[in-house]
Amino acid sequence: MQIPKEARRKAKELFEAALDDSGRPDATKVLSIADLVIKSAPRHAVQILKEFTRLIRLETGKHHAIIESSVPIDDATRSAILKSLQRLDGGEVTLETKVDPSLIGGSRIRLGSEVWDATVASRLIALAS
C-alpha cells in the first residue's frame, strides 16, 4: 500500500524536527515526536509513523558500521578502525563486529552504503572471473 503524499510530507517534517544540531537523529526528540503523533492521532497516523520510522532507520544506518572478519579482531584494531571511521564520517559511529570464517582472511567494513572489502574470499572470486 502506497503512503499518501500528505503523510509522507508530514513524516518528512517530523523527521527534520527530530534531528539535532549535527543533523543526526536525537533519540529523545524521536521518542517524543512518535508519542505526540500517537496521542494526537492525525489523519494517516499509521502511515506517518511508518514513514517517520523508515527515515530515522535510514539516517541511523548511515552512521552504523559493521566489520566482518574471518577471526575475532582485538580491541586495539577495533579502536583504530572506529577512530578512522569517525574521522571519515565526521561524527559518532556505532560499531558492530561479526566473525565469518568463510571470508578466509582479511576483513570487510560497511559504513552505511559504503563497503571496503579486503577479504581473501572476494579476491579469489575476482580472480575466478
Nearest Cα residue to 58 out of 87, 21, 18, 97? 18
Query: How much of the chain, in percent, has pLDDT values that exceed 70?
Result: 99
- Domain locations in the chain as residue ranges: 5-61, 64-128
- Whole-angstrom Cα distance, residue 22 to residue 91? 8
Task: Give the SS3 label for residue 2.
Answer: coil
pLDDT tens digit string along 89-101? 988 999 999 999 9
pLDDT tens digit string along 38-85? 999 999 999 999 999 999 999 999 999 999 999 999 999 999 999 999
Q: What is the pLDDT of residue 110?
A: 97
